Amino acid sequence: MSVNTTPVAPIPEPLSIHGTDPQSLTFRIGSEDHTLGNSLRHLLVKGMESSVSFAGYSVPHPSEHVLQLRVQMDKSQNTTAKEAVVEACDTLGKLCDHIKAEVEKSHSNNVKIE
């Protein structure tokens, strides 16, 4: 008798975008979780507060490795939800690159990290 007979959920598609209004879209991102969801939501809400009217995310079920990111733009702005998510991803990438460079710099200078 097998202890765990629950089948593993298939890996979802990397990205799908749902919605008909370009200023209000849901992004389903496969193989991601709260780490990326909260980071993107924070950058969308805090970094683009003048154009983003709502940004939220959910992980529908722990066994389903999918992140759902919902973005709604202020209708008075010309920015689309897709453009806002791309900008947030670029900002997150630059932030990670900066942190990596600082860690490498401190490590090469034998700085004690506590």
Specify the 3-state DSSP secondary structure of 87: helix
> Does some domain include residue 45?
yes
pLDDT grade, residue 86 (50/70/90)?
very high
pLDDT given for residue 105 in this prediction = 85
Contacts of 113 (CB under 8 A, 6+ apart): 103, 106, 107
Residue 58 lies in a domain: yes
pLDDT for position 3: 64
- Domain-located, residue 93: yes
Q: What is the pLDDT of residues 91-107, one digit of tens each?
A: 999 999 999 988 888 87
Structural domain of 57: 15-108
pLDDT tens-digit profile of 8-57?
666 678 999 999 999 999 999 999 999 999 999 999 999 887 899 999 99
Give the chain's domain count. 1
Assigned token pair, 105 = 């710099």
In a domain, 65, yes or no: yes
Is residue 2 one of the residues assigned to a domain? no
Give the CATH number for residue 49.
Answer: 3.30.1360.10
Q: Is 7 within the bounds of a domain?
A: no
pLDDT at 13: 84
Does pLDDT of 1 surpass 60? no
Residue 114 lies in a domain: no
Closest CA to 40 of 51, 24, 54, 56: 56
Q: Given this model, what pLDDT does residue 83 score?
A: 97
Residue 113 lies in a domain: no
The closest alpha carbon to 86, from 44, 34, 50, belongs to 44
The answer on pLDDT for 67 being more than 90 is yes
pLDDT at 113 over 70: no
- Asked if 63 contacts 13 with a C-beta cutoff of 8 angstroms, the reply is no
